Amino acid sequence: MKQYLKQKAILLRKKGFSYSEILKVIPVAKSTLSLWLRSEKLSNIQKQRFTEKKYNSALQGGAAKRKKRILITRNIINKSKNEIKRIDQDSFKIIGSVLYWCEGAKQKENNVSQGVVFSNSDPKMIKLFIKWLHECLDISNDDIATEIYIHETKLNKIDKIRDYWTSVVGFPKNNINKIYIKRGKLKTLRKNTGENYFGLLRVKVRNSTSLNRRVSGWIEGICEQCGVV
């Protein structure tokens, strides 16, 4: 019986089976199997099979880990999302002010007449900013103009990009005053440079120099209340 099992193990090994696969069929100790097969050399084809199996196993393991990571991430996001309760007007005012502090054009000593200008490629951030303009600053759509900035490599998608930003902001197409083309080599660490690339949208509020100063006051007030001045 042992001789039969040994010959069967050798045959399976020659077919390119791994030790773990053989042990599922041959009920012997791993040390015994190792002794039986120590003189068996693998051919190039058998080695290739092992390599492919390891690669496929790694892919499956990676896919399983990624699926688990996605599930964990989603659970954390859902839990933390529910921690955000109703946002009142004062809270929204602070949110928009900090958002503008990060991504908006600020007045400086050499440019004290800077109006309200906000630029970003994130559609949710753009929508949140426009909602903030409406609800906290009483700015109508007639007072808002938009501009698109895209790289020259995406000129063939210009109509699609215009339609995309029009759907994001909910304005008519003629609200987009200009489309600026970025020239030169595309250098970026962003991942959304393929079909998901829609450039950047700049939102400008007309005649908004005083409005920018008002927002600057809110930002200073936030800093004072947080004790960072």
Angle between helices 123-137 and 89-103 (to 10 degrees): 130
pLDDT recorded at residue 199: 92
Number of domains in the chain: 1
The model carries a pTM of: 0.70
Please check whether residue 118 lies inside any domain of the structure.
Answer: yes
pLDDT recorded at residue 43: 60
Please check whether residue 5 lies inside any domain of the structure.
Answer: no
Residue 136 reports pLDDT greater than 80:
yes
Please check whether residue 124 lies inside any domain of the structure.
Answer: yes
Residue 37 reports pLDDT greater than 80:
yes
Instruction: Say which residue the tokens 């109006």 belong to.
Output: 115
Q: Which of 118, 112, 148 lies closest to 130, judged by CA?
A: 118
Please check whether residue 164 lies inside any domain of the structure.
Answer: yes
Contacts of residue 71, defined as CB under 8 A and 6 or more positions apart, other chains included, come to: none
Q: Is there a contact between 89 and 136 (Cβ–Cβ < 8 Å)?
A: yes
Please check whether residue 132 lies inside any domain of the structure.
Answer: yes
Q: Give the span between the Cα atoms of 70 and 80, in whole angstroms.
A: 15
Q: Are strands 176-182 and 200-205 parallel, antiparallel or unpaired?
A: unpaired
Please check whether residue 65 lies inside any domain of the structure.
Answer: no
Residue span of the structural domain in which 215 resides: 89-226
pLDDT band for 13, please (50, 70, 90 cuts): confident
Angle between helices 30-37 and 2-14 (to 10 degrees): 70
Please check whether residue 131 lies inside any domain of the structure.
Answer: yes
Q: Which of 177, 196, 179 lies closest to 188, judged by CA?
A: 196
Q: Give the span between the Cα atoms of 214 and 199, in whole angstroms.
A: 29
Instruction: Say which residue the tokens 């040994």 belong to.
Output: 6
Please check whether residue 49 lies inside any domain of the structure.
Answer: no
What's the average model confidence in pLDDT over 176-201?
A: 75
Q: Give the span between the Cα atoms of 98 and 221, in whole angstroms.
A: 11
* Percent of the chain with pLDDT strictly greater than 90: 48
pLDDT recorded at residue 17: 80
